[in-house]
Structure 1
């Protein structure tokens, strides 16, 4: 028995933490079953010896089964202090030794940066040329420890002695720059040497001052400022205890880099002929820069954007028009790394697109985004190029210029994403469903580029709030997404207007005061989702004021305080129930959607207040929720239980959010099923209804209809996209029409993850895994159906790996589960199973189900499938 996977603030051995009292978590590993932690003991020390006099904190044995969110309460920590820590546990079945030693290190706490913001004094011909800032330094000895703390206005890439420092791409990342800016901390000990060293930092416009936003298709520039600048500090420590600090000041030098243009939307141009060969003394000066805005500089809390994969092209296509196009076989996000040999001035020019149309390269759906990469050779042997400060969403690359014959082996697809841990797994007997799940994961990776974006390719790439909230639970099943969303939620609270209005996109670069139901509801849905999955009370507490402001904003918006019937609404965006109408807003009444979401947000606010102990708010908002429910039924539900609009989404929202009186639930469910069967199980919901409809069917006695909706291969439907060759999730159900033509080319993304929310149903219904108490307790209630022969999957939680699987044959169903240590699960099986193994287990019957309490370990149950046969 041992403690493994020690984490501090969700990270392994992090450096540069700004949290004064960081939180710890660990997992317990044991071959024994039914392991429950009874006590833990944490020790924190200034060194690895853990001598008593060096201890910063020794908890002694604390009686609790909690192994997550344990807050440091030792001696006060100071800026840049390093701390070693370890943990041991006593369980009901034995005692562990102390774990292997973990480490964390503080960043800037109450300490001020010693340097100044600096910017280049070079006058560039074009605004988007990228300056390079340099500093030669002399170290008196070889350092035993060295850290580089760095941030920028714009984005940066740093080197020490020609070694790249930051593996993070597009650092310092995109935040609400007017409020806070991230810095990164890097270990640079092995890059620095005794004697002469050269630091070089290249700056790009990035989101800070490049084109961003969709106004006039491309957005105005200088959203946050008009000057790129650098702030950095290096501290090198020597064996004798002395240290040397290097900061950004007016002693640095500057020059133009070979990046002659770079932008998020348009791409990058690199002229290798002007790579700097100047002596340090020949470089231009820098100047001190004073940012116009006052903002906090905070340590990075989420994994940065990094290279996560490399893909080789699968084919070089010659189109009917004679164009040369590379097919990478996967709609990906990143860029192409290319090598070539030629003369000085020869060019490599690449254009990026997601699809081929009529066997020709197509990128009209990129709109004004040029999505181009240009490399001008210097003519010195084999040269290799990849962009620095941009990214593309693409599967196909049109090679417009290339010196010599094209060799497919000289091109590599570099895949980037925020480097979070992907551990979710789903497999079943239907390969098209497996491909669908693979597409969902690729969509998440491509749209998790520092913020949760809507799409990664066209002149948009924004943090749309609706896309984020509908996909949040799926994202948490697929990957450890907590710190990624934590960062984004801070920006949501910063950019929320004083009256509580939540903007369409976060960070807010649209800057108009409009909002919409289901979009602004990200303020309540995402924080509570994180609490369900990770039991992070700290995030919930920080966001609570934002959640409350949002609910109060809606209360003030409607004609009455319980009906939201005013203002702009996206409604059930891109629903296919418009019955021939050209609207993209769907046929569900917008007031119904808005009021239903109002009720849902209010109930989440109540649940959050209960968690946080805000008893007055619990009573106040429970009362509000009940009155919203009464209004909803008065406005939108007939006495016979029919719902206004008669759409899949209208019935789905009313049932899912528990808005109906008990007498009308069965009627409404039957009406929904009738609508679904009338469409031959084609889904007609849009962004709002899609996350819930399969859950409503499965959880209300119509599980087979939910399976048939999943397995429908006609348009609209998930497997229709798979049949049409999709490798990510599309923005529209019919982004490609059945005849292969494009649907409305200018707003048509082939990498939009919103409809990928069906993966939540795969995990929660097909596999049956749902969180309770941050997965320290949880339910496994699979709902098998013979339309699939088997299904199996897994997720990694803060406590360990949960697995669920089932398989059907002619006579039996076998359900197998794995439960991690220090957790307990309730396994729900059909009540008929009781007769098959009632003598071997302890169980209880709840609402027609056999409920088995399971501690940690691996279990398998086989029972007759006669109850399933009845569904055939």
Structure 2
């Protein structure tokens, strides 16, 4: 038991936040949840209660100036604590602070006051109409692909009449907007308002511009609006069309509070000026941006000027500008996150000037350029090179090209503002003079989420794999979780984020980002009578169809978020969406509980599938569908239990039991074989806990291990099986096979792309072929995070950090040894504080150091023990040492002979590679097919596997073994034969 401490200063509230970490400056709700972290050296510290004080501000809607409300929370609750004070109103201010009491009798001082602020909170607080400028109609765009995708600019003038105490600008757009006050950009957010299900949810952002206004000084308030996602042409195979109605448009309101308490509102209306003329002559998500500095007339932002005529500014029709859709943004904003310097400048074989940034990333280029008037510089982007040239074929119809036209007025720094690209390489055409490294950099852009999780190991390739996963996430968490960031797609595919959410939610606090996206999923699902579209938002013309793993994002994404962040309110917000999806699938499956027939993606991108048909997987899609049906029903039952819906918990729990029974009867033989004898079939049956009886589990695990070995430890899973297979192997008692699979470098494998220079996760296991050419399929991306979902297993099993209770109130620390790893270090900033785990293997001695934050606890399972033997510890620093000789002892090497089973040879990388090289030399193509055909089997001695090999070549194989054994210093009295 921890010893009581008497020094109150030894306990402090170190961090306090309202709603999610990384949220916008202005709250999206008047009843924000509160979370805090405690710092103390007292071991095993647990909170007994907490005092919360809320001091009201003096904003225009404030309940008073300096009034304090207090309430107490009993128990350990310190995450997402419900607001119990008077709700904040629109344009309100408040401050909050917390004091904690420990079970040991300790008491902290009150934390510093944390400031809270609201802007508009709903459509009821929005009085600004949408305004637009006449431009090309949808019919014009349909008839011509060459029309410029221009921007629209708006402006108005005003003069603050008195000293300003508060000024809040709130804005949204049909398109992407950037606001300026007297020529200076407002805020640091970019690509606002982002992409949501516009028909149902259009977010707005709020900015404090108080310091930008002074009494008696005239101000020009201006905005540029580009098409963005709202007017993008969505589709496939060249069939693209706009989806959302009406022209690009702007809606904004500036609420100014003066010292005397009066309020002035400046809103978009018919008094604003508008023009389609401006320096951003064209901008689109897929095509890129064209900027002409000659048209960048700062005088138009000066007081007393007007935009060029003619320009028609008008309000949108009511159906185009329904204010009921407007909601404040609560996801972390999109920002410029990092500048990456150029690594090298070189010429391609055709003489093109190329720049390598050393990292595949998402954002845009920033130039420092002195270009003569009318001189146009062209910037093209791509992720890879092919034959030394920019590899643009994977972009399909996306031009991904920016242009800058100089004005001859000296050096300036420029970057696009209304597009983004996925690239490592850039082709620069027509640069004025000599291009230098310092003239160009890459700007990384994504939602500014709080980084939480880290992992390092003793294997540099695994560290690079983890880095690739991280960069893949960064590139695709831009306004919404996209599948890829570079080609003519960039859509919110539900299957991708469903499998990746656990990984993402370790690396970053994704609660706000994915919580916002789930609101869009629910909106699109509601319109489709419970069916979840393949992509969210859904701008595709075809009606939504139910598909396993993709539609299950409705249940499994909120389930994973609750597991990692323990926000009951967020889970409650998605609960109806969860039940609606399970009910849809229940109706499709019918009384036998088997979801069979109809379209399914199945185990998408199984590596055995041909490039032109990525759905042609080895595992029957009906197995995938029914397994996901079970998983969603079971997790929905658990959500019902957490939320107190006991009747639903019973109903969905019974449904899950029925599905599991049906699955086992239909797809698992009495001997434990799956009806689809393929990697993913076993991985999903074990990983989703459909097979749980110990003997059956061991049999399934052994068969899965045999499949992995027999295919040369190459990957045999697609989107569905990949996140599950390593866990399934460990659960089935085959952890050594899991590590060997993870560490394979041949194609296909997780490490193969790294051997080819990858810095992000690829869409296909072989997006680039071993000869350096790009996969011939029409669907190839070099930045897709889905297959990187294995990082969740790495973080839990190598790093040793997993949630033992929602939100890591209990941490499960259980590192798994294997793969020759001798050390690892993982850290995760949970809501309670930082969990830090370091372990080292020296000989047969395993040592572990774990740091657990206050008000949480941990269950530590050391290698060689089972979870039932877990050591319960409280907060603080803990050290453990255990002898693991039984796990790491290595048997004396045995000579390889013609009687050695192929399953042993394939585990010996040197022997396998040498044999395959010899087979290639001898032209023995039967042996070269052993990996693809799964022939490295336990019961196949090498000598009896060399069918149709001439005797003189068999002798060459025998000689190879003799030479290899001798080189290893291994000799046998028995002949190699």
Give me the whole-angstrom Cα distance separating, in 2, the residues matched to 1:405 and 1:191. 40
Candidates 180, 184, 188, aligned match of 1:159: 180
1:422 and 2:451 matched: yes
2:740–2:819 Cα contact (<8 Å) kept: no
Give me the whole-angstrom Cα distance separating, in 1, the residues matched to 2:822 and 2:238. 48
The 5-angstrom pairing of residues 832-847 of structure 1 reads: 847=866
1:762 and 2:794 matched: yes
Candidates 864, 867, 870, aligned match of 2:886: 867
Q: What is aligned with 1:774?
A: 807
Give me the whole-angstrom Cα distance separating, in 2, the residues matched to 1:583 and 1:411. 38
Q: What is aligned with 1:743?
A: 775
- SS across alignment from 2:94: strand
Relative to structure 1, the CA distance from residue 601 to residue 246 in structure 2 (aligned partners, 3 Å threshold; closer, same or farther) is same
Relative to structure 1, the CA distance from residue 582 to residue 304 in structure 2 (aligned partners, 3 Å threshold; closer, same or farther) is closer
Candidates 861, 871, 876, aligned match of 1:857: 876
Q: What is aligned with 2:31?
A: 21
Give me the whole-angstrom Cα distance separating, in 2, the residues matched to 1:52 and 1:536. 28
1:486 and 2:499 matched: no
Q: What is aligned with 1:812?
A: 845
- SS across alignment from 2:195: coil
Give me the whole-angstrom Cα distance separating, in 1, the residues matched to 2:265 and 2:613. 63
Q: What is aligned with 2:387?
A: 358
Shift of 1:737: 1.1
1:235–1:243 Cα contact (<8 Å) kept: yes
1:105 and 2:150 matched: no
Give me the whole-angstrom Cα distance separating, in 2, the residues matched to 1:586 and 1:329. 34
Give me the whole-angstrom Cα distance separating, in 2, the residues matched to 1:60 and 1:493. 34
Shift of 1:764: 1.3
Shift of 1:286: 2.2
Q: Using the TM superposition, name which of 695-704 and 559-568 deviates more.
A: 559-568
Give me the whole-angstrom Cα distance separating, in 2, the residues matched to 1:543 and 1:504. 18
Candidates 109, 116, 128, aligned match of 2:149: 128
2:175–2:229 Cα contact (<8 Å) kept: yes
Shift of 1:565: 1.2
1:559–1:566 Cα contact (<8 Å) kept: no
Specify which structure has the higher proportion of strand. Answer: 1
2:13–2:36 Cα contact (<8 Å) kept: yes
1:250–1:285 Cα contact (<8 Å) kept: no
Q: What is aligned with 2:20?
A: 10
1:516–1:568 Cα contact (<8 Å) kept: yes
Shift of 1:583: 5.0
Deviations 1:137-179 (A, max 9, x none): 1112342321111111111001111111132111011110000
Q: What is aligned with 1:795?
A: 828
Shift of 1:868: 2.3
1:187 and 2:219 matched: no
2:170–2:205 Cα contact (<8 Å) kept: yes
- SS across alignment from 1:43: strand
Candidates 130, 146, 150, aligned match of 2:171: 150
Give me the whole-angstrom Cα distance separating, in 2, the residues matched to 1:262 and 1:581. 32
Give me the whole-angstrom Cα distance separating, in 2, the residues matched to 1:12 and 1:793. 22
Candidates 88, 113, 119, aligned match of 1:77: 88
Give me the whole-angstrom Cα distance separating, in 2, the residues matched to 1:580 and 1:243. 62
1:428–1:434 Cα contact (<8 Å) kept: yes
TM-score normalised to structure 1 length? 0.95
User: Structure 1: which 5+ residue stretches go unaligned?
Assistant: 833-846
Relative to structure 1, the CA distance from residue 123 to residue 697 in structure 2 (aligned partners, 3 Å threshold; closer, same or farther) is closer
1:206 and 2:228 matched: yes
- SS across alignment from 1:555: helix
Candidates 315, 319, 332, aligned match of 1:292: 319
Shift of 1:384: 2.7
Deviations 1:250-275 (A, max 9, x none): 11112222111110001011111222
Give me the whole-angstrom Cα distance separating, in 1, the residues matched to 2:613 and 2:92. 61
Q: Which runs of 4+ in 1 moved over 6 A?
A: 122-125
Candidates 120, 124, 128, aligned match of 1:115: 128
- SS across alignment from 1:20: coil
- SS across alignment from 2:235: coil
Shift of 1:566: 2.1
Deviations 1:645-688 (A, max 9, x none): 21000011111112236242221111101001112221210000
Give me the whole-angstrom Cα distance separating, in 1, the residues matched to 2:392 and 2:654. 52
- SS across alignment from 2:579: helix
Candidates 720, 734, 755, aligned match of 2:766: 734
Give me the whole-angstrom Cα distance separating, in 1, the residues matched to 2:35 and 2:590. 48
2:801–2:813 Cα contact (<8 Å) kept: yes
Q: What is aligned with 1:517?
A: 548
Deviations 1:197-219 (A, max 9, x none): 111100011111122x3333463
Shift of 1:567: 1.5
Shift of 1:762: 1.1
Give me the whole-angstrom Cα distance separating, in 2, the residues matched to 1:394 and 1:731. 15
Shift of 1:378: 1.2
Candidates 64, 67, 89, aligned match of 2:75: 64
Shift of 1:578: 4.5
Deviations 1:761-785 (A, max 9, x none): 1111112221112111121111123
Shift of 1:382: 1.1
Shift of 1:830: 4.2
The 5-angstrom pairing of residues 622-633 of structure 1 reads: 622-633=653-664
Shift of 1:404: 2.2
RMSD: 2.2
2:452–2:830 Cα contact (<8 Å) kept: no
1:179–1:494 Cα contact (<8 Å) kept: yes
1:585 and 2:616 matched: yes
2:861–2:867 Cα contact (<8 Å) kept: no
Q: What is aligned with 2:241?
A: 220
Give me the whole-angstrom Cα distance separating, in 2, the residues matched to 1:486 and 1:217. 33
1:328–1:395 Cα contact (<8 Å) kept: yes
Q: What is aligned with 1:843?
A: none
1:457 and 2:483 matched: no
Give me the whole-angstrom Cα distance separating, in 2, the residues matched to 1:218 and 1:5. 51
Deviations 1:308-366 (A, max 9, x none): 10011101111111111100110000000112223211001011001011112211100
User: Structure 2: which 5+ residue stretches go unaligned?
Assistant: 1-10, 141-146, 892-977
* Structure with bigger gyration radius: 2
The 5-angstrom pairing of residues 243-642 of structure 1 reads: 243-255=263-275, 256-276=277-297, 277-278=299-300, 280-281=305-306, 283=308, 284=311, 286-293=313-320, 294=322, 295-496=324-525, 497-512=527-542, 513-558=544-589, 560-578=591-609, 584-642=615-673
Q: What is aligned with 2:192?
A: 171
Shift of 1:14: 5.3
Equivalent residues, number: 855
Q: What is aligned with 2:696?
A: 664
The 5-angstrom pairing of residues 813-828 of structure 1 reads: 813-828=846-861
- SS across alignment from 2:240: coil
Give me the whole-angstrom Cα distance separating, in 1, the residues matched to 2:41 and 2:132. 58
Shift of 1:707: 1.0
Give me the whole-angstrom Cα distance separating, in 2, the residues matched to 1:732 and 1:785. 27
Give me the whole-angstrom Cα distance separating, in 1, the residues matched to 2:182 and 2:836. 47
Q: What is aligned with 1:681?
A: 713
- SS across alignment from 1:829: coil
Shift of 1:586: 1.1
Q: What is aligned with 1:238?
A: 258
- SS across alignment from 2:497: helix
Relative to structure 1, the CA distance from residue 670 to residue 11 in structure 2 (aligned partners, 3 Å threshold; closer, same or farther) is closer
Give me the whole-angstrom Cα distance separating, in 1, the residues matched to 2:681 and 2:12. 51
Q: Using the TM superposition, name which of 576-585 and 709-718 deviates more.
A: 576-585
TM-score normalised to structure 2 length? 0.85
2:817–2:863 Cα contact (<8 Å) kept: no
Q: What is aligned with 2:947?
A: none
Q: What is aligned with 1:34?
A: 44
